[in-house]
Structures are given as structure tokens and as C-alpha cells.
Amino acid sequence: MELLIHSGDEYVESFEPESLAILTYAKLAKVPISTTSSCLPWRTPSGQFPVLRHGDTVVQKDIFNYFKSQGYSLDDVLTAKQTAEAFTYKTSVRDALHKALVR
């Protein structure tokens, strides 16, 4: 699997919140992905990042669900409480990153 993301810098792999969330999930779920950074979103099918390529399959919207459909789910290893905490943390980080990038 290959994840195409918006380029970051020497300190962070991407500045795009959704890409960071997917990279974090992939690491925790041990999804075997490689990343390709680009600053040319118009070269993606919808003109936006991130894009997941897996063989002939191209996924842009439901990448988390695609990981789960391929057997890479954190739901199987987390308790209900841990799942709720992870969701809360993910939402908080996403909101904070969005506010920081909008300014």
C-alpha cells in the first residue's frame, strides 16, 4: 500500500491533518504502507490529499474503513474505553491542527 500525502518539512511528514491521522492509525495498526510526499494535489484523482493506492484500488474518502476491510483494525485490540479515549484524542488533535493551520 502506498499513501500519497502533502509534503511536510524536515520535522513533520505532512502538515495536512487527515494525512497525519492516517499515518498515526497505520502505525498503531501495523499497516504496511509506504508514503510518497508531493506538493502537487492536482495530480491526484480528486485534486486533494491523502490518497491510498493498493494494487488497482485507489481510495480517497474512507481510508480508515479500507484499512479495516483489509484486516487492520484497532477495534480488535482496544477495549471500549480505550476506543472512546482514542476517538476523543483524535478529534482534539484534528481540531487543534485545523485551528493552527487556518491562522
Cβ–Cβ < 8 Å for 42, 89: no
The whole model's pTM is what?
A: 0.75
pLDDT digits (tens, 9 = 90+) for 38-67: 888 888 888 888 999 999 999 998 999 999
* Alpha helix segments (H runs only) across 1-103: 17-28, 63-69, 80-102
Using the predicted structure, report yes or no on whether residue 72 has a pLDDT greater than 80: yes
Quote the cell numbers at residue 80: 471500549
Distance CA 51, CA 88 (A): 24
Contacts of 94 (CB under 8 A, 6+ apart): 17, 18, 21
Q: Which amino acid is at 78?
A: L
From the list 92, 55, 85, the residue with the least C-alpha distance to 70 is: 55
